[in-house]
């Protein structure tokens, strides 16, 4: 990772978000909504809860559903909601640029990744930027086989969000699949798993300090109606039809990652193909997170888009796609008809308008395939179109968040 290359990717990131910020200000002026940029409007949904923990600790059991690293980090800095949002933005841009440098991501693809709409959570008082940063340590460690970076990423990641239950199987799968021998992979995964358990125990101690109850996190999850049971159909989300489609797209990608991971595993058994730990871990995290939400939220997928899209693991997975996929017209039809069938789980059949709107998500997936078309003009137009679509979505979601609308 050279400094010159890093500064190049950092410059692209800063320039892109500067342009987006200018467009957003123009958007606010056009809507006569510049007053939205105030302290209160940045304290929406989870941000308000983190502020409560920052100021008062875990004064109520239900707050123990949230982990302590971010509110304590905020308390340490002692800045306003807008101040911590700026700090979050800096952390995210620095971390993203490190990943772009690691994989030597081409500038147009970097713009596409920077424009992912769920990245609005990197510019508000949420945990996502810290989680992204710790995930960056983890990815670099897995890619470069640096145990120290792996352990740092896992420990701090497990203090930011309750990801231990996804990270343990993901790290186990990563080592077992990529190492030559099963026993060797199992042995190498012991230290990372112990670190993850340590992180969970540290959070448990913090919760105990305030509540005098052990493992109150699990009781808090029940208060949020998160407990193991089969999901009900149709699948839903908070925030209306648009959020339903957005979270639905995250679930579709997650299940695809799971199927593809199984396919790669059998290919490795047959052909001894080489798989990287960072890629396997990223795919495992994405799949595991969605399966966990399906198992615990009664078919309600709220926040799934930010758990999947607002992470470094989607960057690794998309980079792998861009690097290895070869366009095939057969895939276009498979993606279209498979996704159209998948949307039936969300009740897309209930109205022609809903069906057509879900179909636009299918078309978005197809546009992704076209970014790898052999014809350079078609691939470039497809990629630039997605960047524009994403950027519009990011601006609108940020406005929606400040306007007290649910995003994820």
HSE (CB half, 13 Å, CA atoms) of 356? 3
Q: Which residues contact 384 (CB under 8 A, 6 or more apart)?
A: 108
pLDDT band at 303 (very low <50, low <70, confident <90, very high): very high
pLDDT tens per residue across span 250-259: 999 999 999 9
What's the average model confidence in pLDDT over 391-398? 97
Q: How far apart are CA 322 and CA 317, in angstroms?
A: 9
Tokens standing for 151?
């352990």
pLDDT tens per residue across span 318-357: 999 899 999 999 999 999 999 999 999 999 888 898 899 9
Alpha-carbon distance values, 242 to 51, 69, 151, 302, 396 (Å): 28, 31, 38, 12, 12
Alpha-carbon distance values, 47 to 62, 86, 118, 125, 306 (Å): 15, 14, 16, 5, 14
Say if residue 387's pLDDT is above 80. Answer: yes
pLDDT tens per residue across span 125-168: 999 999 999 999 999 999 999 999 999 999 999 999 999 999 99
H/E element, 12: helix 3-30
pLDDT tens per residue across span 160-219: 999 999 999 999 999 988 888 888 889 999 999 999 999 999 999 999 999 999 999 988
Q: What is the CA radius of gyration of the chain?
A: 21
Q: How far apart are CA 204 and CA 159, in angstroms?
A: 10
Say if residue 308's pLDDT is above 90. Answer: yes
Domain boundaries, the chain: 3-326+372-402
- Looking at residue 1, what is its pLDDT? 58
Say if residue 374's pLDDT is above 80. Answer: yes
State what percent of residues in the chain have pLDDT above 70.
Answer: 100
State what percent of residues in the chain have pLDDT above 90.
Answer: 84
Sign of the dihedral through C-alpha 18, 19, 24, 26: positive
- Looking at residue 349, what is its pLDDT? 87
Q: How far apart are CA 86 and CA 84, in angstroms?
A: 5
Say if residue 81's pLDDT is above 90. Answer: yes
pLDDT band at 268 (very low <50, low <70, confident <90, very high): confident
Exposure of 337 by Cβ count < 10 A (0-12 exposed, 13-18 middle, 19+ buried)?
Answer: exposed
* pTM of model > 0.85: yes
| Backbone phi and psi for residue 11, each to the nearest 5 degrees, phi listed first | -60, -40
- Looking at residue 306, what is its pLDDT? 96
What's the average model confidence in pLDDT over 233-252? 95
Sign of the dihedral through C-alpha 135, 402, 252, 67: positive
Alpha-carbon distance values, 296 to 41, 68, 164, 225, 299 (Å): 30, 22, 15, 8, 8
**Alpha carbon 198 to chain centroid, angstroms:** 23
- Looking at residue 182, what is its pLDDT? 81
pLDDT band at 101 (very low <50, low <70, confident <90, very high): very high
């Amino acid at each position: 990772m050279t400094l010159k290359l890093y500064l190049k990717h950092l410059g692209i990131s800063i320039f892109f978000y500067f342009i987006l910020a200018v467009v957003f200000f123009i958007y606010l002026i056009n809507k006569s909504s510049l007053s939205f940029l105030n302290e209160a409007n940045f304290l929406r949904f989870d941000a308000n809860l983190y502020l409560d923990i920052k100021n008062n600790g875990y004064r109520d059991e239900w707050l123990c559903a949230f982990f302590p690293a971010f509110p304590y980090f905020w308390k340490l800095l002692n800045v306003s909601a807008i101040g911590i949002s700026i700090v979050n933005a800096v952390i995210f841009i620095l971390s993203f640029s490190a990943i772009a440098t690691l994989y030597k991501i081409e500038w147009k693809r970097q713009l596409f990744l920077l424009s992912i709409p769920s990245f609005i959570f990197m510019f508000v008082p949420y945990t996502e930027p810290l989680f992204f940063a710790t995930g960056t340590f983890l990815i670099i460690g897995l890619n470069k086989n640096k145990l120290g970076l792996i352990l740092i990423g896992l420990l701090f990641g497990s203090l930011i969000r309750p990801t231990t239950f996804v990270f343990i199987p993901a790290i186990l799968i990563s080592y077992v699949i990529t190492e030559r021998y099963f026993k060797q992979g199992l042995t190498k995964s012991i230290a990372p798993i112990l670190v993850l358990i340590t992180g969970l125990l540290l959070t448990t101690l913090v919760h105990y300090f305030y509540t005098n109850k052990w493992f109150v996190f699990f009781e808090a999850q029940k208060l949020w109606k998160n407990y193991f049971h089969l999901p009900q159909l149709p699948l839903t989300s908070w925030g209306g039809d648009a959020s339903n489609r957005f979270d639905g797209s995250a679930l579709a990608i997650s299940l695809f990652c799971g199927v593809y991971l199984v396919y790669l595993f059998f290919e490795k058994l047959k052909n001894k193909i080489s798989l990287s730990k960072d890629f396997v871990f990223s795919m495992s995290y994405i799949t595991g997170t969605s399966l966990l939400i399906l198992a615990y939220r009664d078919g309600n997928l709220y926040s799934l888009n930010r758990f999947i899209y607002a992470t470094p693991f989607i960057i690794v997975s998309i980079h792998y796609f861009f690097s290895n996929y070869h366009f095939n017209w057969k895939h276009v039809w498979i993606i279209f008809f498979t996704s159209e069938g998948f949307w039936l789980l969300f009740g897309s059949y209930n109205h022609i308008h809903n069906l057509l709107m879900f179909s636009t998500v299918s078309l978005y997936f197809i546009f992704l395939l076209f970014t790898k078309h052999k014809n350079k003009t078609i691939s470039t137009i497809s990629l630039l179109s997605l960047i524009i679509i994403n950027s519009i979505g990011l601006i609108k979601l940020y406005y929606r968040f400040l306007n007290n609308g649910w995003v994820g």
